[in-house]
Structure 1
Amino acid sequence: MSTDVDRQLARTSELLDRTRERYGKVSKRARQQRQAEVLRRVGRIAVADGAILMAALVAGLILPGGIGMFGALLMMLLLVVATIGFAIFPLVGAPSVEQLQQVPLKALPLTTERWLEGQRPALPSPVLGLVDSIGVKLEFLAPQLAQLDEQSPAATEVRKLVGEQLPELIKGYARVPEPLRRVERNGLTPDQQLAQGLQVIDDEIAGMSAQLAQGDLDLLATRGRYLQVKYQGDESGIG
């Protein structure tokens, strides 16, 4: 006879399986975004290296003895530094959690999406499809929030979900030591808790977007549902 924990584990396994399938198209979009990022980096590397080579050429024409061995070594060093620098370091620094809580409402979705992108390396691969899906929904939400009063109750609900509860969920997961992330606690592993929490957030953002599209601000403002990161009554949470 199956227990409540067995049924909960089965539902979580099904969720992870659906996540891999359901967000295949979203993951493709995310890959396209990252490919575009690579192309931007390559473009900046080409510009930087071209500028260095041009400067070396001009110096070689102006200086009586050319740039010499030292100049050639310096040029090669600058080329290596410029290439590695633009290849490794981000073009734009990822925002902090504090910035998420302070940015204007209309900028909150895209700022949150940038913050999420920076968290990807620390997240388990089965939930990356959900992260991509949340990013897509945040993009759709951005123009809707541009028309929303910053001081309205509806805006408060959006900020609570996107600017507070989402970062807290991921920060809570990050605090769990890596070897313990697949160890059950109260019937669920931290990996499974994270997947369920992200699914709840994904659904909540979709609901908010639909209500904003319908102009149903009163319903949005009175949702009154605190994010169920404890998964339907489990008060232990992640960590």
Structure 2
Amino acid sequence: MNRFDRQGKRRQSLPARARQRRIAAAMRKLRYAVWTILAVLVASIVAGFFIPLGITGVMVTLGVMLAAVLLIIAMPPERSVKVEALSRTSLSALPLQTEIWLENQRKGLPTPAAALVDSIGVKLETLAPQLERLTDQEPAAQEVRKLLADHLPELVTGYQSIPQPLRREERNGRVPEQQLIEGLSVIDAEITRMSEGLASGDLNRLAIQNRFLEMKYQEARQLGH
């Protein structure tokens, strides 16, 4: 895959990448089903050399094949991600798990926020390979985990906890929907800064703005209160 193909792939929206994952999961299911049918068929042929199967044996074989295929079809295409599980996710897997969680929340967000979620998802895809060379003990890794597993979910769930009719009404001088959009904008910019810091090797720079960001994220925690 050349550089332009990779850039085009990174520009895909969150729903587009979720669709790709579902298609890939469906293809895996198809392969599992084919191999399962072949395995049952081979097992029945081998068993037929020792025990005559007869009509009953053929029906049992077909029943086992059907049950196995139905079980494979019933398997969920993609595991849902619980917000509390993000804090326990390994650092290298955290961007993808956060992206899956975000995609599941996207439909319930206002249009400007959904566009920011798309932008965050693209940047998470870029960030993922950069995290593979970090250990959990490094300050940069701790900042990334705090951003993706704490601040981002708190912002979104805080907004979701507000009743629908009140989300566009002013509360304590602030409008929840606008707070959500502003918070997502800050996080979007922060992921860009983190990715640039990791790309340049300047890991110390990742912790410089922590105090400012903590103040901004505090607004997210207040959304649900």
TM-score range, shorter chain: 0.5 to 0.7
How far 1:92 sits from its partner (Å)? 6.5
Verify: 1:46 aligned to 2:34, yes or no.
yes
Q: Distance in 2 between matches of 1:107 and 1:227?
A: 27
Deviations along 1:70-100, one digit per CA (max 9) or x if unpaired, are: 761x445434433333233236744544442
Q: Distance in 2 between matches of 1:53 and 1:129?
A: 50
* Identity over aligned pairs, percent: 39
- What is the TM-score normalised by the length of structure 1? 0.64
Q: Distance in 2 between matches of 1:63 and 1:36?
A: 40
3-state SS of paired residue (2:149)? helix
Q: 2:158·2:221 contact (CA, 8 Å) conserved in 1? A: no
Provide structure 2 residue ranges, at least 5 long, that are not aligned to the other structure: 1-9
Q: 1:181·1:189 contact (CA, 8 Å) conserved in 2? A: no
Which one-letter code corresponds to 2:168 in the other structure? E
Distance 1:66 1:193, change over 3 A: farther
Q: 2:155·2:183 contact (CA, 8 Å) conserved in 1? A: yes
Provide structure 1 residue ranges, at least 5 long, that are not aligned to the other structure: 1-22
Q: Out of 25, 44, 61, which is 2:12 matched to?
A: 25
Deviations along 1:30-53, one digit per CA (max 9) or x if unpaired, are: 433332222122222222233334
Q: Distance in 2 between matches of 1:97 and 1:50?
A: 39
Whose helix fraction is larger, Structure 1's or Structure 2's? Answer: 2
**1:10 matched residue in structure 2:** none
**2:187 matched residue in structure 1:** 201
CA RMSD of aligned residues (A): 3.8
Q: Distance in 1 between matches of 2:118 and 2:77?
A: 20
Q: 1:229·1:237 contact (CA, 8 Å) conserved in 2? A: no
Q: Distance in 1 between matches of 2:124 and 2:69?
A: 33
How far 1:161 sits from its partner (Å)? 0.5
**2:87 matched residue in structure 1:** 101
Deviations along 1:144-170, one digit per CA (max 9) or x if unpaired, are: 223335333333221110111122234
Q: 2:183·2:220 contact (CA, 8 Å) conserved in 1? A: no
Distance 1:79 1:221, change over 3 A: same
**1:88 matched residue in structure 2:** 74
3-state SS of paired residue (2:13)? helix
Q: Out of 194, 197, 200, which is 1:214 matched to?
A: 200
Verify: 1:34 aligned to 2:18, yes or no.
no
Q: Out of 64, 80, 84, which is 1:78 matched to?
A: 64
Q: Distance in 1 between matches of 2:70 and 2:162?
A: 32
Q: Distance in 1 between matches of 2:42 and 2:69?
A: 16
Aligned residues between the structures: 209
Deviations along 1:198-235, one digit per CA (max 9) or x if unpaired, are: 443333212211122123333311112137467xx687
Verify: 1:150 aligned to 2:142, yes or no.
no
Q: Distance in 1 between matches of 2:44 and 2:183?
A: 55
